[in-house]
Amino acid sequence: MNPLILDGTVVAQAIKDHLKERIEALSEKGIVPCLATILVGNNPASETYVKMKGNACRRIGMKSIRIELPEETSTQELINAIEELNKDDSVHGILLQHPVPSHIDERQAFEAIAIKKDVDGVTSAGYGQTALGFGEFPSCTPAAIMSIINFYKIPLEGKHAVVVGRSPILGKPVSALLLNENATVTTCHSKTVNLPEILKLADIVVAAVGKPEFIKGEWLKEGAAVLDAGYNKGNIGDVDYESCYKAASAITPVPGGVGPVTIATLLKHTVESAERTSQLEVTL
């Protein structure tokens, strides 16, 4: 029996359709949700991602501001630009495109983003709130994975989820989100011993290791749900799709799986930030 294809384009469209109504309601109050993206240097892939996010904003009636800084920008100059956006009441979300040039302290720059505008969930405070179960804006890719799971009604409670990857904006927060939904979570990484044996125990597998076609179908428990958050050169995910397809009960494609929902989640968080601004203005 063929697995259920977890089509992220369908999930993303459902999110965006709902957002259009909320954006219209905000526009009646004179508020246009605005996402500011900061691009440092001239990384071609980053330029493409920023352009995609800007286009996604415009298509549903949001505003997008693009801040471009030269390659030689210092950490302090980047922080200064972020702080200007923090003070701008017309900006509801701030996205610092990753990666930044190597001479910049990326973590220090992330921490400069005001938590109420941290729509990409990159600050340590945002991560802490997510882990404790009351974060307003979880990291977008982990939140996208949870949206796919919820949309397709994949059961989590009591299930064993194995996350392969431990990055601060993907592996760690998605582990916390799964744990908060009463899954039993094992977080693995590049130093994990006997990874295939651990994956054999998993009802749900989240691939977030950044290695193309790393996870093999023979490592999976029969009927596992596979969510591939990897995106490598040549539109290839972190799982070997062909072999995992044969073993899984449900699987995300790459492209067209987690990626579109990640962008839709970024828009959703920005709209939610604008709605909070609107409510705050009412109470003042």
Domain 140-258 falls in which CATH fold? Answer: Rossmann fold (3.40.50)
Distance, in Å, from the CA atom of 193 to the CA atom of 30, rounded to the nearest integer, reads 56
- Side by side, the strands of the sheet bearing 160-164 are 4-5, 250-251, 225-228, 204-207, 160-164, 184-188
Confirm if 265 and 143 have CB atoms less than 8 A apart. yes
Distance, in Å, from the CA atom of 195 to the CA atom of 198, rounded to the nearest integer, reads 5
Domain 29-116 falls in which CATH fold? Answer: Rossmann fold (3.40.50)
Burial of 88 (0-12, 13-18, 19+ CB in 10 A): middle
What pTM, to 2 d.p., does this model score? Answer: 0.95
Token readout for 99 is 């990666």
Write down the catalytic residue from 97, 117, 238, 240: 97
Please say if 76 is a catalytic residue: no
Please say if 240 is a catalytic residue: no
Please say if 53 is a catalytic residue: yes
So where are the chain's domains?
A: 29-116, 140-258
Question: Can 29-116 and 140-258 be said to share one CATH topology?
Answer: yes
- The one-digit pLDDT tens for each residue of the chain (284 residues) are 799 999 999 999 999 999 999 999 999 999 999 999 999 999 888 999 899 999 999 999 999 999 999 999 999 999 999 999 999 999 999 999 999 999 999 999 999 999 999 999 999 999 999 999 999 999 999 999 999 999 999 999 999 999 999 999 999 999 999 999 999 999 999 899 999 999 999 999 999 999 999 999 999 999 999 999 998 988 899 999 999 999 999 999 999 999 999 999 999 999 999 999 887 654 43
Confirm if 250 and 225 have CB atoms less than 8 A apart. yes
Query: Phi then psi for 37, rounded to 5 degrees?
Result: -110, 135
CA distances 215 to 82, 205, 208, Å, are 38, 10, 10
